[in-house]
Amino acid sequence: MSEIDVVLPDGSARTLPEGSTALDLAAQIGKRLAKDALCADVNGDLLDLNVALPPGALVSIVTPASARGREVLRHSTAHVLAQAVTRLWPGAHFAIGPSIENGFYYDFALPDDGRFSDDDLERLEAEMRVIVNEDQPFDRSEHTIEEGLELFRDQPFKVEIINAVALGASEEDLTEVASPSVVSAYANSARFVDLCRGPHVPSTARLGHFKLMRVAGAYWRGDEKNQQLQRVYGTAWESAAALDAHLLQLVEAEKRDHRRLAVDLDLLSFPHELGGGLAVWHPKGGIVRKQMEDYSRERHLHGGYQFVVTPHLANERLFETSGHLGFYRDGMYPPMELDNGTYYMKPMNCPMHCLIYKSRPRSYRELPLRLFELGTVYRYERAGTLHGLMRIRGFTQDDSHIYCTADQLQDEIASLLEFVMSVLRAFGFSDFTANLSTKNPAKYVGGHEIWEQSTEALRLALERFGLSYEVKKGDAAFYGPKIDIDVRDAIGRTWQLSTIQCDFNSPERFELEYVGADNQRHRPIMLHRALFGSIERFFGVVLEHYAGNLPTWLCAEQVRVLGVRDDHDAYATAVAASLAAHDVRVSTDVATEPLGSRIRKAKLEKIPYILVVGDDDVAKTTIGVNARGSNDPERGVRLDAFTTRLTLEIADHGSPEDH
């Protein structure tokens, strides 16, 4: 019998009998690897373990505790879910079931327009465990288009996918089948076959560390005009420990949910009486927000911006001119009909800023003209999309509109990028990435040249700044290309905060002009930009980033002074007064309750510094300093030394945890 050589990832070669599979290779390398192996990377393609290796192939064995291994586990678990559904709901149609971050989902159409309820998850999970225990193989087979259509004749979604791929109509469906001409299928048993490109684990027995999480509705092919399918989400891992760790992480993430923290820390609330998506800010939230706004104003003041103020509503003529009524009427609060016309709440500040620009003739000497406003806008977001502060119906943008010439664009954007990141860094973010959204050929206004020129200006500014970015083709708004800036937070989630958008539409619609050095009239380019995006959303992101342990400068209460006994209260009050004289936000909690109880209360409020003063301190003018995040208090600290340290920390935007 002839032999073949294959190459391992470390560059070493292995010799195997011709016809050997990836599993044979794994077995030759080691018993343990053969036991762990899920599938194999052969010359860059992920394949099942039982395929014969071609001579000279570069092979790596994929094991469960790897990104690709988990992906295969999750996808295979999705097949098990589909089989469980077809067992419990005979006649169910199944659509697609990919692996996703941390797990998988699968979409179904149940017989008689049936719906899953939460109780069904338990039944499904039990059935899935039965399938896992049955140790069913994943048997791959390949078919012609005609055979595939016959094989899945009872599964309309599969038929649609096969046809779409055969016609070359859908690239994304290629993930479901082998190639445009070969239909691949995986059979777990005579009764369950699913269309799939693969690869899969060798047997269902290799699965088991999964949990079904929730049911949801999801539109076929993600289009709300299509049938809504029943989706089941699950999470799946390589081990019980990994699954438990994930579930624990979900619990931890819940603890830093801004909606939870907003209640616990008494920052703000969403009273039912107000209606959905509208918040009231309580005193403590009000202080934090004021700190954010003050900082923003301060930076803009020194950043060459001019402050403007505009009203919350306007006559409909304004929004006809701006085009908002034409394009976004559904997203606006409905009209107020009055004797002298029809009024709308403003969904954006830009039309108002254009009116300010237009209030008198402009010279090229004034450009770039940067108008800034903390402008509150109202958008009637669809009920199902609301999400705490992150998606809200009334919110305040740190909004600016910059009017400039095409020549000024690149410099303006480069300096804007610097400004944006400098401001975001002041709030503790340091990991940024950008997205550059380019023209959607199906939906845009403006000439080819201006799109090219400004997209290039955005791109060059990004490169000049050295910010890593991805190009999102066709993602631009109809009126111009844009840069969005994502930040990564303390637990690795990314949030889109800042946006810099070119607008070729508004200057046209408002007929904005400036007189150039050539004494001719020219049309300026307009930039929309927001750094926080919305103050509400930014507040939510910051709160979650710090899990409520805000840096000292942002905290509503920075210090609380506790006397050990009530005869220390006078000294505690004096300490507080001394700190307050340095603009520290400080309170005292008089000794009617035991010290331990008052300390606990202050810790739950996440106050950066709890100062405890007793006999020693009264005698020596010292304090006991209990810093947030630390379990051993410092005794006998001189008050003036602490005051210096604290005021420095506040000025530096630091936290007690930094020391």
Positions annotated as catalytic residues are 350, 379, 397, 399, 401, 482, 528
Q: CB pairs under 8 A, 24+ apart, for 163-166?
A: none
Residue among 141 and 597 whose Cβ is closer to RNA: 597
Establish if 3 lies at the interface with RNA (CB under 7 A).
no
- Order of strands across the sheet with 139-143? 139-143, 183-189, 192-195
Q: Which of residues 168-227 bind RNA (CB under 7 A)?
A: 214-219, 222-224
Least distance (Å) from RNA to the CB of residue 96?
A: 12
Q: Are 377 and 346 in contact (CB under 8 A)?
A: yes
Question: Encoding tokens for residue 119?
Answer: 């109780």
Binder of RNA out of 470, 566, 583, 640 (CB under 7 A): 566
Q: How far is the CB of 330 from RNA (least distance, A)?
A: 8
Q: Is 528:495 a contact under the CB 8 Å cutoff?
A: no
Which of 160, 591, 645, 647 touches RNA (CB under 7 A)? Answer: 591
* Comparison of 346 and 370: residue with beta carbon closer to RNA: 346
What element of type H or E holds 636? strand 634-638
Confirm or reject binding of residue 94 to RNA (CB under 7 A): no
- The footprint of RNA on residues 592-611 (CB under 7 A) is 592-597, 599-600, 603-604, 610
Amino acid (one-letter) located at 565: R
Distance in angstroms (rounded) separating the CA atoms of residues 78 and 128: 10
Residue count (the chain): 659
Nearer to RNA, 197 or 568 (CB): 568
The letter for the amino acid at 623 is I
Which of 511, 567, 640, 652 binds RNA (CB under 7 A)? It is 567
Near RNA by CB under 7 A: residue from 532, 617, 646, 655: 617
List binders of RNA among 100-119 (CB under 7 A): 115-118
- Encoded amino acid at 402, one letter: I
Judged by beta carbon, residue 32 or residue 620, the one nearer RNA is 620
> Residue type for 171, please?
E
Q: CB of residue 658 vs RNA: minimum separation in angstroms?
A: 17
Q: 288-327 mask for RNA (x: CB under 7 A)? A: ------------------------------------x--x
Reduced to 3 states (helix: H, G, I; strand: E, B; else coil), residue 406 is helix
Query: Rounded to whole angstroms, how far apart are CA atoms 16 and 341?
Result: 85
Closest CA to 455 of 442, 506, 469, 466: 469
The minimum distance between CB 167 and RNA, in angstroms, equals: 22
Q: Does 351 bind RNA (CB under 7 A)?
A: no
- Look at the block and give the residue holding tokens 């409020």: 605
Structure tokens at 368: 């770039």
Size of the site for RNA (CB under 7 A): 73
Which of 45, 511, 583, 616 is the binder for RNA (CB under 7 A)? 616
Among 501, 534, 558, 643, indicate the residue that binds RNA (CB under 7 A).
Answer: 501
Angle between helices 639-651 and 569-580 (to 10 degrees): 40
Rounded distance between C-alpha atoms, residue 291 and residue 281, angstroms: 14
For RNA, the binding residue among 74, 158, 231, 289 (CB under 7 A) is 231
CB closer to RNA out of 66 and 496: 496
Q: CB 628 → RNA: shortest distance, Å?
A: 8
Q: Which residues inside 504-533 make contact with RNA, applying CB under 7 A?
A: 528
- Binding to RNA (CB under 7 A): which residues in 381-440? 381-388, 391
- For residue 399, the minimal CB distance to RNA (Å) is 11
DSSP, res 492: S
Q: Are strands 559-563 and 609-613 parallel, antiparallel or unpaired?
A: parallel
> With binding defined as CB under 7 A, does residue 612 bind RNA?
yes
In sequence order, what DSSP letters do the residues of 209-220 get, joined into one string? -EEEEEEEEEEG
Question: What CA–CA distance (Å, rounded) separates 599 from 608?
Answer: 12
